[in-house]
Structure 1
Amino acid sequence: MKIVNFVINKEHTKSFGILNADGIVDVGLHAGCRDINEFMAHYPLDSLQRYVALSADLQLNDISFLPVIDRPGKIFGVGMNYAEKRKEFNETNPAPTLFIRFADSQVGHNGTVIKPASTNEFDYEGELAIVIGRTGRNISAEDAPAHIAGYSCYMDGSVRDWQHKWYTAGKNWPSTGAFGPWLVTADEVGDPQNLKIKTWLNNRLVQDDTTANMIHTIPQIIAYISTFTQLSPGDVIMTGSPGGVGKTRVPPLFLHQDDVIEVEIENIGRLTNRIQDSALSGIVQSQTAA
């Protein structure tokens, strides 16, 4: 299934649903629960199968995409998890590198990603995102796949000159990350460690790799994180970005006003967003150094 989280344009009503060949089945309408976070807290996503055969209630032009999970309890990022990326940044630490993102740093598919006024080093990073579907703590790598609800694309926008010696400050400016276009359930994705992942900047291919080149596999990541914290339905894990980011290019290649950034992952879809400078967006962002 492809599960979409959205706002109905005409009604300004939030809901979520199943995307099929005819349009979108508004599950929120039929199930009496319009919040995907609330639904996942009480029901497994495979319970949505009962709605798959229903007629579409909406078309894609009737909705605006929200982040796939707009109010996750936790968003973890895994840094330096591809071989080429590690070479580009001279990374030698063998342990997984983790950071966190906040929910308000995300936008959905076709949403506007905001370049902070405080930086000239706003970078792109295309990533495979995991959505957790089952609660677990101390999950073994062998049991990890059973805890995954599905997968999506993520554009982990990075404010490089605010990463300092840790990543979190450079990852959490408002609307700097994008998550979508939809969640594809694990049964339809196939082997998540054998997916092509590509990023385009203004139709220029800037990242081109496969998830087979992850240093730490998806089961290993889930096992590692669940050792120190409980994972719950709706939690999100970004699994790292391939090489080819703008920071290490000569000359550097960063995001600017009106750029279009796209992340495509095999068997999942293509996430598209336009960049806007914060000075033109109406979003107030602090310009005081940390």
Structure 2
Amino acid sequence: MKLLRYGPAGQELPGLLDAQGRIRALSPLLRDITPELLSDEALNQLRAIDPEKLPLVAGQPRLGAPVAGTRQFIAVGVNYALHAEEASMAVPKEPIVFNKSITCIGGANDDIVIPPGSKGVDWEVELGFVIGKPAYQVPKARALDYVAGYFTANDVSEREWQLQRGGQFVKGKSPPTFGPVGPWLVTRDEVPDPQNLRLNLQVNGITRQDGSTRDMLFGVAWLIEHLTGFFRLEPGDLVITGTPAGVAYGMKPPVYLQPGDVVTLEVEGLGRQTQRVRGS
């Protein structure tokens, strides 16, 4: 099942994608796709609905983030060995974990806005997942049971702010528009192995990243065990899992995003994003 939210920013309505790739409205049945609707029980009730009996949404509306009410946006850095090499960083013994502000979350095809004073806006295609039930001290063997679904993400990053302005990565990871997620949430039952998915990103039609989640240093289940060993994850929380090699920061010299660029990315089976870059 592919759940989504469509409509103008701040006015999104709930929907799902039918077998023909058309948007069906869920608004006659529920107000929004919120954290309490991500439990196994609630998702099973949604799964029992016949999409053909839901209203068809006309046209190609904007797609917002597929989940409303997210409390935490957690990211993992340097989770692919080749990315560590290109960034001249040591392969970590444990995951590098940081926050992205929830105010950076946006729709899959929303513009990326270069903030004032920015010197280096970069791209990062990533596999993301959404937590479906409260998770604390979760063992790896049961970790995937806590995932409601998976999504494509672009961990947009301002490298100078991230790496040279002191403090934590969150500074360079959180400007508005730096967290495109979606286009939809693909429920766990449709992703039998999150460690066997291709990732691809292009800038202006040129492939910059082409990798596989097989190459992650710390897989999804391992990450859930690790993260929940330190703090509690709640339903609706987003976690993105790191990026393969091919970011602008690793180029010599770096070639960062500029107004007018077009970024296209996807994770196998989870949907494609297309973002235009513009100045503020």
Relative to the length of structure 1, the TM-score reads 0.89
Kindly indicate whether residue 4 of structure 2 is the aligned counterpart of residue 4 of structure 1: yes
Which residues of structure 1 form unaligned runs of 5+? 279-290
CA distance in 1, matches of 2:262, 2:242: 21
Report the residue type matching 2:7 in the other structure. Answer: V
Distance change (3 Å), C-alpha of 1:170 and 1:155: same
The worse-fitting range, judged by mean Cα deviation, of 100-109 and 43-52 is: 43-52
Distance change (3 Å), C-alpha of 1:42 and 1:184: closer
The number of residues matched between the two structures is: 275
Q: How does 1:1-290 map to 2 (within 5 A)?
A: 1-7=1-7, 13-20=11-18, 21=20, 23-31=22-30, 33-40=31-38, 44-59=42-57, 61=59, 63-92=61-90, 93-163=92-162, 164=164, 165=166, 166-278=168-280
Contact 1:14–1:35 (CA<8 Å) still a contact in 2? no
Relative to the length of structure 2, the TM-score reads 0.92
Shift of 1:70: 4.0
Contact 2:5–2:14 (CA<8 Å) still a contact in 1? yes
Contact 2:4–2:67 (CA<8 Å) still a contact in 1? no
Which residues of structure 2 form unaligned runs of 5+? none
Contact 1:76–1:238 (CA<8 Å) still a contact in 2? yes
Q: Give the SS at the match of 2:184.
A: strand
Shift of 1:22: 6.1
RMSD (Å), alpha carbons: 2.0
Aligned to 1:285: none
Q: Deviations over 1:105-163 (max 9, x none)?
A: 12102211111121120000000001111212100111101001111100110000001
CA distance in 2, matches of 1:22, 1:97: 37
Shift of 1:18: 1.2
Contact 1:15–1:36 (CA<8 Å) still a contact in 2? no
Q: Give the SS at the match of 2:112.
A: strand
Contact 2:134–2:233 (CA<8 Å) still a contact in 1? yes
Distance change (3 Å), C-alpha of 1:48 and 1:98: same
Q: Deviations over 1:152-177 (max 9, x none)?
A: 10011000000135311000111122
The worse-fitting range, judged by mean Cα deviation, of 201-210 and 165-174 is: 165-174
Report the residue type matching 1:173 in the other structure. Answer: P
Shift of 1:258: 1.7
Shift of 1:89: 1.9
State percent identity of aligned pairs.
30
